[in-house]
Chain A
Amino acid sequence: MPEIKSPAFQANVNQAMGDAQLQQALAKLKGGFQVNRVTAAGKLPEFETLRDQATGIKEHTLAHLDFYLEAFEEKTRAAGGQVHWACTAADARRIILELCRQGGAGKVIKGKSMITEEIGLNDFLIHNGLEVVETDLGEYIIQLRNEPPSHIIAPAIHVSKEQVADDFREAHEALDPQRPLAEPRQLLDEARHILREHFLSADVGITGANFLVAETGSVVIVTNEGNGDLTQTLSKMHVVVASLEKVVPTLEDSATLLRLLARSATGQELSVYTTYATGPKREQDPDGPGSFHVVLLNGGRTDLLGGPLNDVLRCIRCGACMNSCPVYGAIGGHAYGWVYPGPIGAVLTPALIGMEKSHHLPHASSFCGKCEEVCPVRIPLPKMMRHLREKSYEKGALPRTFLAGMGFWAFLARRPRLYRTAANFLARALAWAAMGRGALKHVPFAAGWTSERDLPAPEGRSFFAQYRKQKKGEKP
């Protein structure tokens, strides 16, 4: 498993906020993906209808998950492939290692896959003596930097091109140290040159899956670099690692979801490469892998089925929620401390690894609702975060001072007459403390407020104190 840094959320936040380079990268994100999504959605009159359809497809599939998974397995077998069921991350790692050994792997190349991040596959395979090379450019960069992804579709969004140039100089020792690497094009060309050699010399190719099609046993992946295609067609063995909820009933359904995926993610109509792979290379095929394996990870997902977090399994990993999230925009992805950042991470992380290790995440949201507004499959993320907050409240996992304050407030709020008196007292006390000014710079019991902004002073007496006086005056 990848290291869990979510318990240190507060420290992670402070570090992220102080990282000027990260902040610059995040500022760019706001003008990029987010704007592109709005433009792409605006160009498609049926976009909202598609969202309803996609939501329906996912709801239906989750309600009949066993049926569609078995159908997928049957069709995959019929096409000459094999399906391996992995209950836990450890099971998945073990199965994949065995497959790699069967495939005679010295070298494994990988397409981008969040599930392999979730199960900590790279470290495990490397620890077991294999060479593992990420082939998505962003993933390749963070692999060189030994960092986890900070965004689910743009894993190296936090890295500047200058940092990439430094990483390349360090990693690609055989190349001329004096070569120019200032331009993105130069970086791309170098990565392409290096990766091409890996593609040609690898034994096993591991990819994720955007969708698994039950109707045909096909695995769908989308990429913008074509690295996924090379990974799966040039290797002798193709291993797909996917979680259960990736299955959809039909090809038609996968097409509906594809129409939303790239538009929601990057604002493209479609990703540059969309590949349906069904089984290994057949005799008449000019190319393709000699064997085809799908490792299906549960990893705690079936525990969510039918419960209050069921709908989070609709996620198609487009990243729209994090692209639009002002909290993600302030702190970036690493601060969330596990695999999935942003609003989806704030729900999925507690759902998969438990609230004990990630209780901050669902609390660190202003509930602005933007994530739900942009989610192509209409996942009610704020509602789910609220549910998780209820769980942590029930367990008494909130700071004691916060609970005490909340308890005192609730005590008053249920007693209107007492509340009136207290509110008027507080209004007058704060107004008095402001000493004729419009705001207070420091308020001892509201340090969280005044550390960032002034506290506007109340006008004086509370509304109800004034209202009561007015009403008395009206009476004859």
Chain B
Amino acid sequence: MSSPTVGLFVTCLIDLFRPSAGFAAIALLEDAGCQVEVPEIQTCCGQPAYNSGDRKDAILVARGLIDAFAPFDYVVVPSGSCAGMIRHHYPGLFAQMPELARQAQALADKTHELVSFLVDVLGVKQVPVAFKGKLAYHDSCSALREMGIHDQPRQLLSSMDGAELVALENPETCCGFGGTFCVKYPEISGRMVDDKARDIEASGADTLVGPDLGCLLNMAGKLRRRGAAVEVRHVAEVLAGKTDKTPPIAADPKRS
């Protein structure tokens, strides 16, 4: 493939909380031979409105993304949830508007989650990165169930020199984030993430990675509240070998 053009959809949470994961995604895509651009007129995929029942605002926000990403061969998203929103829910959102529905379908067809794009579309089999330690991978629900992502990240993570992948007991159980769910029903969400944190702590992993920042913020926040020493990072940061500059999510910076 002669260097495809990729529009990176950074996602609102990475923009706000974890720019490192966005830059790591760019590095991974460029290393794999893509021409990456990050259109500045992107904001959010509209999922907060969509899942709250606010279809009107979801449509208005989604329209912005359709325009922003029209020019690219591919749209790549370092999030299974936002990629799933575009891939599986955009076409239905515009069902009553034929021209926009066509554009939404075209966008849906070329939108991929980052790691599955690297493996399934670009054929990346390994990353030339060394990683010392035990890694656990959390399957975020949308990545797993909407986007069918399971083996791809595990393949790349275990290709890292020195990395040992350990399994969570329930890697496919929801962490309790669920977008606005986690603040609308904090007690239920809190119980779910507490169960998840216990699973992570029991796995013996010293680093937890995942494909979705929302879930990672939730788990990192709970692990920290519980006083657990597990480091949490977006999967892109680890695969790009960019773990030296930025402290893990929710971790205090190391004092030099």
Residues on the A chain within 8 Å of B14, using CB: 463
Chain A residues with CB under 8 Å of B174's CB are: 326, 366, 368, 370
Interface residues of chain A: helix, strand, loop or mixed (majority): helix
**Cβ of A420 and Cβ of B40 under 8 Å apart?**
yes
Q: Could you say which of B146, B186, B188 contacts A451, with CB atoms under 8 Å apart?
A: B186
A367 contacts B178, C-beta separation under 8 Å:
yes
- 8 residue pairs of the A-B complex, CB under 8 angstroms, read A369-B145, A390-B54, A427-B15, A448-B184, A455-B221, A459-B246, A466-B23, A467-B19
Asked if A419 CB lies within 8 Å of chain B CBs, one says yes
Q: Of all chain A residues, which has the CB nearest B255? A: A436
A468: B residues at CB distance < 8 A: 40
Specify which chain B residues have a CB less than 8 angstroms from the CB of A393 in the assembled complex.
Answer: 52-55
In the complex, the answer to whether B52 meets A452 with C-beta atoms within 8 Å is: no
Contact (Cβ within 8 A) A449 B183:
yes
Chain B residues whose CB sits within 8 angstroms of the CB of A327 once the complex forms: 188, 192
A400 proximal to B (CB < 8 A): no
The answer for the CA separation of A407 and B54 in the assembled complex, in Å, is: 9
Stretch of A109-117, A281-289, A299-307, A409-417 lying at the B interface:
A409-417
A459, B18: Cβ atoms under 8 Å? yes
Q: Is the CB of A449 within 8 A of B221?
A: yes
Q: Would A413 and B176 count as touching, CB distance under 8 A?
A: no
B1-16 vs A: 1/0 string, CB under 8 Å?
Answer: 0000000001010111
Work out how many contacts link A and B, with CB atoms closer than 8 A: 210
The residue that B173 contacts in the complex, of A326, A420, A461, with Cβ under 8 A, is A326
Contact indicator B179/A326 (Cβ below 8 Å): no
Stretch at the interface among B27-35, B56-64, B116-124: B56-64
Q: Are B250 and A457 interface neighbours, CB within 8 A?
A: yes
- CA A373 – CA B148 in complex, angstroms? 12
**Neighbouring B residues of A330 by C-beta, 8 Å:** 188, 191-192
Q: Which of A368, A439, A453 contacts B190 (CB 8 A)?
A: A453
The chain A residues found within 8 Å of chain B, CB to CB, are 13-14, 17, 326-327, 330-331, 363-370, 372-373, 386, 388-394, 398, 402, 406-407, 409-410, 412-414, 416, 419-420, 423, 426-427, 436-439, 446, 448-449, 451-459, 461-464, 466-468
With a cutoff of 8 Å between Cβ atoms, the chain A residues found around residue B246 in the complex are 459
Residue B242 CB within 8 A of the other chain: no
Whole-angstrom CA separation of A427 from B13 in the bound complex: 10
A107 to B71 Cα, complex, angstroms: 75
Given contacts A366-B189, A368-B174, A459-B20, contact A406 B141 (CB under 8 A): no
Residue B249 is within 8 A (CB to CB) of chain A in the complex: yes
Could you tell me if A366 and B52 are in contact, using CB atoms closer than 8 angstroms? no
CA distance A455 to B177 in the complex (A): 12
With A and B bound together, what is the CA distance between A392 and B195 in angstroms?
31
Which of A369, A372, A388 has the most chain B CB atoms closer than 10 A to its own CB? Answer: A369
Selected interface stretch from B41-49, B97-105, B129-137, B157-165: B41-49
Closest residue to B182 on the A side, CB-wise? A449
Instruction: Tell me the nearest residue of chain A to B39, going by C-beta.
Output: A416
Q: Is the Cβ of A409 less than 8 Å from the Cβ of B145?
A: no
Which residues of chain B are near A13, meaning CB under 8 Å? Answer: 185, 187-188
Q: Which residues of A contact B217 (CB under 8 A)?
A: 455-456
Q: Could you tell me the distance in whole angstroms from the C-beta of B182 to the nearest C-beta in chain A?
A: 7
Bound CA–CA A467/B22 (angstroms): 10
Residues of A within 8 A of B49 (CB): 406, 409-410
Cα A448 to Cα B19 with chains together (Å):
24
Interchain CA distance A14-B185 in the complex, whole Å:
11
- Alpha-carbon distance between A455 and B189 when the two chains are bound, in angstroms: 14
B38 touches A17 (CB 8 A): no
Q: Which of B23, B42, B60, B222 contacts A452 (CB 8 A)?
A: B222
The reply to whether B173 and A406 contact each other, CB–CB distance below 8 Å, is no
Chain B residues within 8 Å of A386, by CB = 50-51, 53
* B252 within 8 A of partner (CB): yes
Neighbouring B residues of A438 by C-beta, 8 Å: 224, 247-253
User: A439, B250: Cβ atoms under 8 Å?
Assistant: yes
CA distance A273 to B188 in the complex (A): 37
B193 touches A453 (CB 8 A): yes
Report how far A9 CA is from B186 CA in the complex, Å. 13
New A-B pairs, 11, CB < 8 Å, besides A366-B181, A369-B145, A467-B38: A17-B188, A326-B195, A363-B185, A366-B177, A368-B141, A368-B178, A406-B49, A439-B220, A448-B183, A449-B182, A456-B224
Q: Which residues of B contact A372 (CB under 8 A)?
A: 145
Contact across chains for B178 and A412 when beta carbons are under 8 A apart: no
Q: Nearest-CB distance from B243 to chain A (Å)?
A: 14
Q: Which of B139-172 contact A (CB under 8 A)?
A: 141-142, 145-146, 172
Enumerate the 5 nearest inter-chain pairs by beta-carbon distance, A residue then B residue, closest first: A366-B178, A448-B183, A452-B190, A393-B53, A389-B53
Whether B51 pairs with A427 at a CB distance below 8 angstroms is: no
Contact A423 B12 (CB under 8 A): yes
- Are A454 and B185 in contact, with the CB atoms below 8 A? no
Closest B residue to A372 using CB positions:
B145
In the bound complex, residues from chain B placing their C-beta under 8 Å from that of A373 are 145
| A214→B59 CA distance, assembly (Å) | 45
The residue in A386, A393, A448 that gathers the most chain B C-beta atoms within 10 A of its C-beta is A448
Knowing A366-B141, A410-B60 are in contact, say whether A458-B187 is a contact too (CB < 8 A).
no
Q: Which of B41, B48, B181, B190 contacts A406 (CB 8 A)?
A: B48
Once the chains bind, are B186 and A454 in contact (CB under 8 Å)?
no
In the docked arrangement, what's the CA distance between A439 and B190, Å? 17
User: CA of A369 to CA of B142 in the docked complex: distance in angstroms?
Assistant: 8
User: In the assembled complex, how far is the CB of residue A219 from the closest CB belonging to chain B, in whole angstroms?
Assistant: 36
- By a CB distance below 8 angstroms, the chain A residues around B178 are 365-368
A409 contacts across to B, CB distance below 8 A: 44, 48-49
Structural contact, B17 and A458, CB atoms closer than 8 A:
yes
B218 contacts the other chain (CB 8 A)? yes
